[in-house]
Structure 1
């Protein structure tokens, strides 16, 4: 999917919602355990109910690979079911030396045909560039995350006086461009999102941490939006586990619609 196509979907749906498909076999409703592929059936109903409001879906790969071959089958079926006009994200956090990264890229961009993949920048350009060689595919680079452990390294000051996350942003923005690279920027960092936006004004941000993790959607929009939105805000547990019973799909739809309504207001406030 191209950058322009993503902009168009945001404008059509008045939404920058990404639904995280962190589908846990132990948390899905019990009545689904009787079907042949509970994970896919759960995802299918979530997609059916939320596709009107979502511009992206983000399966967290760990939830699938933990189940072995059956999990990978469920993941592929889920990817195939996502409508083609909705951006797909493999939340895999890959990143290794060049030849290995090349095979990761082949796995997720050719074999599975995701639109994008999350990548760790720690090993530098040769671990990231293989992913950037694919046309109309995206690297979503970890920049400033929302977990507590992010304080261990990301804010450490280098000899040049810059924190590590800022160095990552400045260097990596020269590896790719706004048409093939996004950044993960955690919602719980508040005004830090604004600092990141100054460094990379045109890039998309994938923003986790809204909802169950306590991040503020309004703050994310205030500090992170650019003139064309430039945001994909993820909600996982808050949407997919909104309901516990046979009505889980309709409950997920209510939560997705609620977020889309809030996003529409913010888009008109900050972009249009």
Structure 2
């Protein structure tokens, strides 16, 4: 999926929402537990309900890997379902991989050759050779962790060099020199929205995956004000605030309502920016 494809999808849906599929057996509605595959049953209902309001889905691998082969099977079924029924939606594997080159090559094969996802999140901590295997796949995206929304992000990402450069700024700047850097996106947490101007100063044209809207406290208005460029350049994720908005048999309808509320705010931002 190219950046042009993404922009077309954003304009068509009047949205840049990503729905995070952080599916937890302990949190899904109890009536689904009677299903043969309750994880997939939940995901299918959420996907069908929210697809009109979003452009992307982001399964978080930890929630599937924690259940062994049962969970991984549900992940594969989820990806296959999206590709079959909603082929224009971006599928992001939130896996946060990153290792020495030959190991990263195996990870890349796992997600792009076999998993058939469109994008995968990757840690840049080990440097270029740990990321480059993922960048060998045309029309696939590598989403580098730059400035995350968790409390501990300050431990390293906000460290400053003698010249005042933050570590996350160095990650952005150096990664832009790598081969196929046009296939890079960056994770920038919504709770760090005040830093988005610094991010945009270094990567003005890149897409940013922005988690943390909703349950983690990030505000969509501030994200749009500081992070949107002339091509939108944003994919904003919401997980718990949408998928766990209701635990009754009406959970999917409630998820649809919550997704549409966010989409409506995004539509206003896109109109104000002249993108739609």
Same fold (TM over 0.5): yes
Query: Which SS does the other structure have where 1:51 is aligned?
Result: helix
Corresponding position of 1:26: 26
Question: Does 1:194 pair with 2:167?
Answer: no
Structure 1 runs of 4+ aligned residues shifted over 3 Å read 176-179
- Where do 1:31-42 residues align within 5 Å? 31-42=31-42
Asked if 1:180 is matched to 2:183, the reply is: yes
Q: Secondary structure at the match of 1:242?
A: coil
Give how far 1:159 is off. Answer: 3.5
Closer/same/farther in 2, CA of residues 179 and 85 from structure 1, 3 Å limit: farther
Query: 1:129 offset after TM fit, Å?
Result: 0.2
In the alignment, structure 1 residue 229 sits paired with structure 2 residue 248: no
Following TM superposition, by how much is the alpha carbon of 1:160 offset from its aligned partner in structure 2, in angstroms?
Answer: 3.8
Is the contact made by 1:17 and 1:232 (CA closer than 8 Å) also made in structure 2? yes
The unaligned stretches of length 5 or more in structure 2 are none
Map of 1:269 onto structure 2: 272
Question: What secondary structure does 1:109 align onto?
Answer: helix
Deviation at 1:3, TM superposition (A): 0.9
In structure 1, runs of 5+ residues without a counterpart are none
Q: CA deviation at 1:154?
A: 0.5
| Separation in structure 2 between the aligned mates of residue 206 and residue 190 of structure 1, nearest angstrom | 12
The alignment status of 1:7 with 2:10, answered yes or no, reads no
Moved more, 42-51 or 156-165: 156-165
Following TM superposition, by how much is the alpha carbon of 1:158 offset from its aligned partner in structure 2, in angstroms? 1.8
Distance 2:37 2:179 in 1: 38
Contact 2:245/2:251 (CA < 8 Å) preserved in 1?
Answer: yes
Q: Which moved more, 1:38-47 or 1:160-169?
A: 160-169
Q: Could you tell me the TM-score, scaled by structure 2's length?
A: 0.97
Q: How far 1:163 moved relative to its partner? A: 1.1
Q: TM-score, normalised by structure 1?
A: 0.98
Correspondence for 1:147: 150
Report the 3-state secondary structure (helix = DSSP H, G, I; strand = E; otherwise coil) of the residue aligned with 1:149: helix
In 2: Cα distance, 1:230 partner to 1:179 partner: 13
- 2:55 is paired with a residue whose SS is strand
CA distance in 1, matches of 2:179, 2:49: 35
CA contact (8 A) 1:90 1:117 kept: yes
**Superposed CA offset, 1:191-226 (max 9, x none):** 201110111000000001111111110000000000
Question: For residues 108 and 230 of structure 1, what CA distance do their matches in structure 2 show?
Answer: 24
The equivalent position to 2:112 in structure 1, one of 100, 109, 112, is 109
1:145–1:185 contact (8 Å) kept in structure 2 = yes
The answer as to 2:71 corresponding to 1:71 is yes
**2:115 aligned with 1:88, yes or no?**
no
Secondary structure of 1:52's partner? helix
**When you count helix as a share of all residues, which structure comes out higher?**
2
Number of residue pairs the alignment of both structures matches: 272
| 1:128–1:178 distance in 2 versus 1, CA, 3 Å | closer
Q: Deviations over 1:7-49 (max 9, x none)?
A: 1000000000000000001000000000000000000000010
Alignment of 1:259 with 2:235, yes or no, is no
Q: CA deviation at 1:69?
A: 0.4
The whole-number CA distance in structure 1 between the counterparts of 2:205 and 2:120 is 19
- Please tell me the root mean square deviation across aligned C-alpha atoms, in Å: 0.9
Deviates more, 1:159-168 or 1:104-113: 159-168
